[in-house]
Amino acid sequence: MAAAGFRVAGLYDATTAAPVSLREVWPHVSPWHPRRSWRLVRKSRRRPHNPSELVWWRLWDAGVPYLKVGLFRVNHYGLDLGRVLAELQARSAYDLGLVAGHVARCG
């Protein structure tokens, strides 16, 4: 790419991005899932974080319409996946059945 005269850079740099606020992760905190919620709050304080799994909506709003399979398969940060799907449906007309099918194929 560089030899062809293009510049290569990351669209979102988690090391220079604003810290993840409690307001951003609060909708995923639940008294019915205290361990998952504690993991989310604790891991969201760490830097750098994996933005494609923790703050996927920031990437989406920046024009990157991709989600990592790991968000649904592993869910390292303990996000409420039902809420993630609801937020995704509200932000896009994308067929969420395709997401479910892909996650099922990936295991």
Amino acid identity of 39? R
Instruction: Tell me the mean pLDDT in the region 42-63.
Output: 86
Q: How many domains does the chain have?
A: 1
Q: 9 lies in a domain? A: no
pLDDT at 23: 92
- Residue ranges making up the domain that contains 39: 22-106
Q: Helix, strand, or coil here: 13?
A: coil
Q: 93 lies in a domain? A: yes
Gap between the Cα atoms of 60 and 30, Å rounded: 24
Instruction: Tell me the mean pLDDT in the region 67-80.
Output: 89
Q: 49 lies in a domain? A: yes
pLDDT at 83: 92
- Does the CA dihedral 13-15-16-20 come out positive or negative? positive
pLDDT at 31: 92
Q: Which pLDDT band holds residue 84 (cuts at 50, 70, 90)?
A: very high
Q: 1 lies in a domain? A: no
Instruction: Tell me the mean pLDDT in the region 36-63.
Output: 87
Q: 98 lies in a domain? A: yes
Instruction: Tell me the mean pLDDT in the region 94-107.
Output: 85
Q: Which two tokens stand for residue 11?
A: 């669209």
Q: 79 lies in a domain? A: yes
Burial of residue 23 (number of CB atoms within 10 Å: 0-12, 13-18, 19+): exposed
Instruction: Tell me the mean pLDDT in the region 56-85.
Output: 88
Judge whether 48 and 57 are in contact, CB under 8 Å.
no
